[in-house]
Amino acid sequence: GAGVSQSPRYKVAKRGQDVALRCDPISGHVSLFWYQQALGQGPEFLTYFQNEAQLDKSGLPSDRFFAERPEGSVSTLKIQRTQQEDSAVYLCASSLASIASEQYFGPGTRLTVT
């Protein structure tokens, strides 16, 4: 009965470095979401996958952000040339269905860009 897992839990990057954040959803969950949570704020949507298809990437803040889910299971969020404003907790969530289904969240990856 494993939940959503994310790695690494903490990441410190120097400005300009590339980072890759991994999400392992609950087995069998069709939908996968990425959210960004800045300090003291609620999570904000970044992107959504249904199986391997990225159906919504309207929340990605710039073309430095890229996400993939090539086999419809594990997903990676990549941030290129990190900036200080990218510092946040990145949350991954999965849900069993694509409609009217609750989302289960992972513990998040706290990214600090120095």
109 interacts with other proteins by CB under 8 A = no
Phi, psi dihedral angles at 84 (to 5 degrees): -60, -35
Residues numbered 33 to 62 that lie near other proteins (CB under 8 A) are: 33, 35, 40-45, 48, 50, 55-56, 59
| Contact between 72 and other proteins per CB under 8 A | no
- For the CB of residue 75, give the shortest distance to other proteins in the complex, in Å: 14
Does 100 participate in binding other proteins (rule CB under 8 A)?
Answer: yes
CA distances from 61 to 12, 18, 45 (A): 20, 16, 10
Collapsing DSSP states into helix, strand and coil, what is residue 85? helix
Dist CA 24 CA 41 (whole Å): 24
Helices (H) and strands (E) in the chain, counts: 0, 11
CB atoms within 10 A of CB 27: 9
Closer CB to other proteins, 2 or 14, in the complex: 2
Q: Using DSSP, state whether 69 is helix, strand or coil.
A: coil
Examine residue 90 and tell whether it contacts other proteins (CB under 8 A): no
Using rule CB under 8 A, residue 66 touches other proteins: no
Closest separation between CB of residue 74 and other proteins, Å? Answer: 18
The site for other proteins (CB under 8 A) is made up of 3, 31, 33, 35, 40-45, 48, 50, 55-56, 59, 91, 93, 98-108
